[in-house]
Amino acid sequence: MSGSELRALPSVERLAAALDAPHALAVAAARRALAERRAELRDSADGSGGADGSGGADGAHTGRELGADHDLVARARDLLAAAERPSLRRVLNATGVIVHTNLGRAPLASAARAAVARAAEGYSNLELDLERGARGSRQAHVEALLRELTGAEAGLVVNNCAAATLLCAAALAGDGREIVVSRGQLVEIGGAFRIPDVIAQSGARLVEVGTTNRTRLGDYERALSPATGAVLRAHPSNFRTLGFVEEVPIEALCELGVPVIDDVGSGALAELDAIRDEPPVRRSVAAGAALVCCSGDKLLGGPQAGLIVGRADAVARARAHPLARALRIDKLSLAALEATLRLYLDPARALREIPVLAMLGAGEPELEARARRIRAAIVAGGGAAEVVLARAKVGGGALPLLDLDGPAVALTPGAEGADALSAALRLGDPPVLARISEGRVLLDPRTLTDAEADAVAAAALAALRPPG
């Protein structure tokens, strides 16, 4: 390679002019395309000299006409299209992991999506009492629903369950008092969120009781003192201890005579066989817990949110704490949460329309029909696929021991292997997320709708076709 090859490249402005796009975006795409091309030319040099890099893409030498370098123009256009594409995109989840944290956890019900669109369209009565014509509370949109669905005296919503736990600890013991926790519940969840760290940040002091695998009521009783602000029970959402274990039920904890904070994690409001092992919110409220926390976007099936329900006096303390404003829920999430909670007023409708619950309750005939639909479309397009038995998971820090057996569509990759085929699916439009098992790529119908199944089949065909 000689310096003349570098000097023959067009200028940034000339290449940008060929893109027919806003100047700033076109220049950025042209600059990147030229930088990549220069790097390729230098990498291809055999080291015999001449690659002095003189001249340059921004200089006066425009070199050959752009018509002679279609590849460079096409590259710049691809870069421009990528730059204009939103970073946060919809993906198709064919992994079989229902509450997939990396993919946004729970997909919203149609009623929740419509509520978000209405709230986003213009102004709303977020903090306005329309009857009185005075300032209101954003909590008013969901508190009555929370009371109805959980049996609690009061309710409060913040932006996620970690925030809810922090706020509860700060409200009941943030003045330096003690929070008593079983050693078996000093858990860490995703993002290095650790219960000891949360308690420290709340301003409370941690008192550990029991052992990793066994904590008895007497352990709690011996730890109580005038300095005790609360007992915290933290549900180990993403793991289970098995074998020689013992823990104190919520009813016994609530009889200790001190406030109990119960972080039940997943937000199990529905009566569904698949989630019977998750602690129900209503049970903790009925037991007398001062504050019960759960997520809005795990098994509850709504948006990211942290729900706090319990005794009126305890909720009032949380509501009045300075952290409550810093952790408050935004209007779009609030709209989605209200719509999701309203679905629970009709349990049968909730099981039918909330996607997470529908996926958990999906029957074998429905899943088999969807899997065969995907396979048939792939085979009709000339691809190879077969329906196999696979195992899905709930995910998202819920029901870690539950396996959901059902059909999946297996794709046999070419010579490049399963990782390459999975990457081709992921980098397609729309992106498809699959999983790899025993050297094959699996497409799980449990986490797809019928319409998405058709799109996944088309994406699989595109990914299976050899380049060119």
- How many Å from the N-terminal Cα to the C-terminal Cα in the chain? 28
Strand segments (E) across 113-171: 128-129, 134-135, 154-158
The rounded distance, in Å, linking the Cα atoms of 304 and 104 is 9
- For the chain, the average pLDDT equals 89
For 421-451, the pLDDT digits (tens) are 999 999 999 999 999 998 999 999 999 999 9
Could you give the residue ranges of the DSSP H alpha helices within 280-415? Answer: 281-287, 312-320, 323-326, 331-344, 347-353, 355-360, 364-380
How many Cβ atoms sit within 10 Å of the Cβ of residue 82? 10
Mean of the pLDDT values across residues 166-179?
96
Tokens of 83: 């730059």
- Report, as an integer, the average pLDDT of 366-384: 94
CATH architecture designation of domain 110-353:
3-Layer(aba) Sandwich (3.40)
Structure confidence at residue 400 as a pLDDT band (50, 70, 90): low
Q: What is the mean pLDDT of residues 91-109?
A: 94
Q: Cα dihedral angle (199, 200, 205, 208), rounded to 10 degrees? A: 60
* 92-101+359-464 classified as CATH 3.40.50.80: no
Confidence of residue 45 (pLDDT cuts 50, 70, 90): low
| pLDDT of amino acid 64 | 47
Residue 59 has pLDDT above 90, yes or no: no
CA distance 467 to 377: 20
Which pLDDT score is estimated for 50? 43
**Confidence band (pLDDT; 50, 70, 90) for 344?**
very high
The number of helices, as runs of H, and strands, as runs of E, in the chain is 19, 17
Residue 317 has pLDDT above 50, yes or no: yes
For the segment 263-274, the average pLDDT, to the nearest whole number, is 85
Quote the tokens at residue 396.
Answer: 């998202």
Q: What is the pLDDT of residue 42?
A: 84
Indicate left, alpha or beta for 112 from its phi (over 0: left) and psi (-120 to 50: alpha): alpha
Nearest to 65 by CA among 18, 2, 134: 18
Strands 154-158 and 306-310: antiparallel
Q: What pLDDT, on a 0 to 100 scale, did the predictor assign at position 188?
A: 82
pLDDT tens-place string over residues 86-95: 889 999 999 9
Q: Is it the case that residue 67 has pLDDT exceeding 60?
A: no
**C-alpha span between 274 and 235 (Å, rounded):** 18
How many CA atoms are closer than 13 Å to the CA of 250, on its beta-carbon side? 23
pLDDT at site 467: 60
Contacts 24+ apart (CB under 8 A), 329-332: 329/138, 329/157, 329/158, 329/159, 329/305, 330/159, 331/119, 331/124, 331/126, 331/138, 332/116, 332/119, 332/120, 332/303
Cα distance between residue 110 and residue 142, in whole Å: 18
Which stretches of 52-186 are assigned E, i.e. beta strand? Answer: 92-93, 128-129, 134-135, 154-158, 178-182
3-state secondary structure 170-187: HHHHCCCCEEEEEHHHCC
For the whole model, what pTM was predicted? Answer: 0.87
Kindly state the helix (H) or strand (E) to which residue 32 belongs, with its residue range: helix 23-43
pLDDT tier for residue 46 given thresholds of 50, 70 and 90: low
Region 55-77: what's the mean pLDDT?
60
Averaged over 382-404, what is the pLDDT? 82
Rounded Cα–Cα distance for residues 445 and 370 (Å):
6
pLDDT (0 to 100) of residue 54? 38
* Residue whose token pair is 């504050």: 291
Has residue 284 got a pLDDT over 60? yes
> pLDDT tens digits, residue range 208-223?
999 989 999 999 999 9
Q: How many CB atoms lie within 10 A of CB 281?
A: 26
- Is the predicted pLDDT of residue 305 greater than 80, yes or no? yes
Angle, vertex CA 220, rays to CA 214 and CA 222, nearest 5 = 115
pLDDT at residue 240 tops 50: yes
pLDDT band of 8, cuts 50, 70, 90: confident
Domain map (residue ranges) of the chain = 3-84, 92-101+359-464, 110-353
Is the pLDDT at 61 greater than 80? The verdict is: no
Domains 92-101+359-464 and 110-353 share a fold: no
Residues 444 and 297: their CA atoms lie apart, in Å, by: 21
Give the residue, 394 or 407, on which the prediction is more confident: 407
Question: Which range, of 146-155, 219-228, 340-349, 459-468, averages the lowest pLDDT?
Answer: 459-468
As a whole number, mean pLDDT of residues 256-269 equals: 93
Average pLDDT over residues 75-93: 90
Angle formed at CA 378 by CA 377 and CA 383, multiple of 5 degrees: 150
Cα angle vertex 374, ends 371, 376, to 5°?
Answer: 105
User: Three-state SS for 446?
Assistant: helix
61 or 329, higher pLDDT: 329
pLDDT, residue 165, reads 95
